[in-house]
Structure 1
């Protein structure tokens, strides 16, 4: 990525972040920032209870073989 492209991407990201209204998304982005600075505690501890439940549900689905490959996923989206 060129310097000009990088600067443009940064400006777009700043604008997008300023427009966010979802507190959990802002918290997630802050966690990424803190982690990149080496200041973060365990990311799991910073998740909402709902996020933890969803992640654990996904892990359980995977362990029970309840998954789709990407073709099945996209075909399901395309064909309803």
Structure 2
């Protein structure tokens, strides 16, 4: 009986895991932050997006462009939603 219960729980967990996995849909998002891009601007944009939206946004392919004096435009792909 215990084996059946454990097997059933395993199958339910496996089914839930498979449904939550998959390729997310990515959307570009741009934000302006203070400062200049510098040598590690793309990485700094990635960190800024993580701080603003959290890890669930999964920012990737970030780019940094110097904007007006003392500001930079960061563009990253984030999970749509």
TM-score, normalised via structure 2 length: 0.26
Larger Rg: 2
